[in-house]
Structures are given as C-alpha cells and as structure tokens.
Amino acid sequence: MISEDELSRYKRQIMIFGEEGQEKLKNAKIFVAGAGGLGSPVLYYLAAAGVGTLVVADRDKIELSNLNRQILHRSADIGYEKVFSARDKLTALNPEIEVITFDGTIDSSSAERIVGDADGIVDAMDNFATRYVLNETAVDKSIPLFHGAVRGFHGQATTIVPGETGCLSCLFPNAAPAEVSPVLGTTPAIIGSIQANEVIKYLTGRGRLLTNRLFIWDGLEAESTIMPFAKNPKCTVCAGRK
C-alpha cells in the first residue's frame, strides 16, 4: 500500500504511471554494482523515484580524486566506505526506501549470493571483467542488466533482457583494454540517468526499452548514435539458454 506521505512525495510521477506503477517501484529490489561515477546518479534517481529496496555494492573507500564526478560523496567522506556514504545520502533523500550494502568485491564467487533475489542489475562498474560476471549472473537468474560505461566526454548504454535480447557478451565478445579512464562528471550523469530511466521503464512497464541497441554518446559533439545488435548464436554466455 502507498501511504499518504508517499502519495504526496511521488505525486508528480504518479501522474505518469499511477499508484499502480508506484506500487511496482516500491515492491522492486534493484542491485546496483558500483557507487562511483555512474552509481551516483543511478542510485540518486532510483531512490528519489521510490524503488523500494536498493542493494549497493562497492569495495572502495572515497578518495579526493573521486569527487569531480561521484556526487553521492562529500569532501568530509574521504576515507569512508562508498557503500555507507551512499546509504547515508540515499536514506536522507528518501527514508521510505531500504538500502542494503555490500562492502566487498563482486566476482564469480560472490555475485550469485549478493545479487540474491533482486529484480534487476545495474552495471555501474569501471571494468569489463566485473561486467562479464554481472552479465552471467543476469543470464543465470533471468533478470535484466542495465549496462553503462563512460570515458571522457564519451559514453554508452544498453539494456539486456535475458531470453529476449542479445547479452553483454553478444555485444562485446572481447573486453576493451583496461586503462585509467579520463572522465568528467557530466558524462556519467548522462549515462547513469539513462540507466535509471531504463530501470524505471522496466519496472513500471512503460515505453520501449533500450534493448538490442547500443546508445553511444559523444558529449563533445552533443550527438548520439544507435548501434543495433542481436543475439549471437555462438555466444558463449547466452546461446542456447532460455
């Protein structure tokens, strides 16, 4: 049930998807991998929209060099675990939601357990190795994966619905080389907002998801490009799976 306070808090978006849609958000549990550049806008917007349970996973502590883009965290938080800083900010923004934290490494031995019974996974990671683990977990659990990645003024996003669409390994059969990416706060703000928008669309059943399409953003040109893709029948992760 939606309370009087919640009716008031979410009034302007209940105009879009009704109390029924708000109830769907409230009953949802979303796993967000990473509380950094992408995780900050994703978590803020999912919390503000009233996604009932957010699971935040990150192993890092806050450093000064994070603060140009990781807007969940403050100068006074330096040295504090990102997941606890995230929980503090999100529950201050919206005390109606529950924030669960995992202060550790997401890998093939932990992913199944920490994702648990979440309804979807947001990929707000900074490396392809962990992204592939998240993709396999999403395919195993048959829950959607909301992918985003950034570099400098450039970013990309796509939504994967296992069983219906190509997966992350269909799209990226091989990882891009690791590097310390240059990045500006506005790029993860744009890409993370697209990811959060996709989660809200998925949960409320609104619109057309960003599936089988890679959204490519060039902030220097203020231009976007769509790259269509499909299931790879030879995919080592999802081929032959339901």
Binding residues (CB under 8 A) for another protein: these are 34, 36-39, 124-128, 148-152, 154-156, 171-179, 181, 183, 188, 214, 216, 218, 220-221, 225, 227-230
Q: In the complex, what is the shortest distance from the CB of residue 229 to another protein, in angstroms, rounded to a whole number? A: 5
Q: In the complex, what is the shortest distance from the CB of residue 77 to another protein, in angstroms, rounded to a whole number? A: 18
Q: In the complex, what is the shortest distance from the CB of residue 64 to another protein, in angstroms, rounded to a whole number? A: 18
Cα–Cα distance, 122 to 39 (Å, whole number):
8
DSSP H or E stretch at residue 196: helix 186-204
Q: In the complex, what is the shortest distance from the CB of residue 223 to another protein, in angstroms, rounded to a whole number? A: 9
Residues 6 or more apart whose CB falls under 8 angstroms from that of 108 comprise 133, 136
Q: Is the CB of 14 or the CB of 32 nearer to another protein?
A: 32
Q: In the complex, what is the shortest distance from the CB of residue 214 to another protein, in angstroms, rounded to a whole number? A: 8
Cα–Cα distance, 102 to 34 (Å, whole number):
10
- DSSP-assigned letter for residue 88: H
Q: In the complex, what is the shortest distance from the CB of residue 177 to another protein, in angstroms, rounded to a whole number? A: 7
Q: Is the CB of 37 or the CB of 52 nearer to another protein?
A: 37
Q: Is the CB of 7 or the CB of 226 nearer to another protein?
A: 226
Cα–Cα distance, 140 to 147 (Å, whole number):
16
215 by DSSP, 3-state: which?
strand
Cα–Cα distance, 150 to 59 (Å, whole number):
20
Q: Is the CB of 34 or the CB of 52 nearer to another protein?
A: 34
Q: Is the CB of 74 or the CB of 219 nearer to another protein?
A: 219
Cα–Cα distance, 77 to 93 (Å, whole number):
17
Cα–Cα distance, 4 to 152 (Å, whole number):
43
Q: Is the CB of 177 or the CB of 242 nearer to another protein?
A: 177
Category of 50 on φ-ψ map: left (φ > 0), alpha (ψ -120 to 50) or beta: left
Q: Is the CB of 13 or the CB of 151 nearer to another protein?
A: 151
209 touches 201 (CB < 8 A): yes
DSSP H or E stretch at residue 138: helix 128-141
Q: In the complex, what is the shortest distance from the CB of residue 66 to another protein, in angstroms, rounded to a whole number? A: 11
